Amino acid sequence: MQRTATVLVYSDDVNTRQQTRLAAGRRPAADVPAVEYVECATLPAVLSALRDGGIDACVLDGEAVPAGGMGVCRQIKDEIFDCPPVLLLIGRPTDAWLATWSRAEAAVAHPLDPAELAAALASLLRGKVLAEPA
């Protein structure tokens, strides 16, 4: 049986976390495992969850306050050994260069398009989960 993937969703806004979960769904693509979500509303919660391990991918809200997802992404890439891949939710498509600066593997702009978000998350999970030995 295929294992479940764990995706961390970070935003200070409960509505953004909910929209992200609903848009990506329980299974973003047929060839990736079902997803369980871990929600975090603060930077300390993100760092704690990542240090505990078991996170396969992160979705970070670039518009979160006070710690924006871009800065959080850059920080976790520096501080977390074997940091999982990151999908950034950005305010505008033109903010994609900031996602690159933060070292995110993917970016999706608001308003969230469910097909685009699911495809981006599935791509990250393929690289992480499917590459691991069973």
Dihedral of the alpha carbons of 91, 85, 26, 52, in degrees to the nearest 10: -110
User: Using CA atoms, how far apart are residues 11 and 69, in angstroms rounded to an integer?
Assistant: 8
| Three-state DSSP class for residue 114 | helix
20 to 51, 64, 73, 74, 87: CA distances (angstroms) = 23, 13, 17, 21, 11
Mean pLDDT by 10 residues, the chain (134 residues): 87 98 97 97 98 97 96 97 97 90 96 97 86 55
Look at residue 130 in the predicted model and tell me its pLDDT.
Answer: 57
Gyration radius from the chain CA atoms: 13
**Architecture in CATH for domain 5-128:** 3-Layer(aba) Sandwich (3.40)
Q: What share of the chain is helix, strand, coil (3-state, %, to 5)?
A: 40, 20, 40
For residue 27, give the amino acid letter. Answer: R
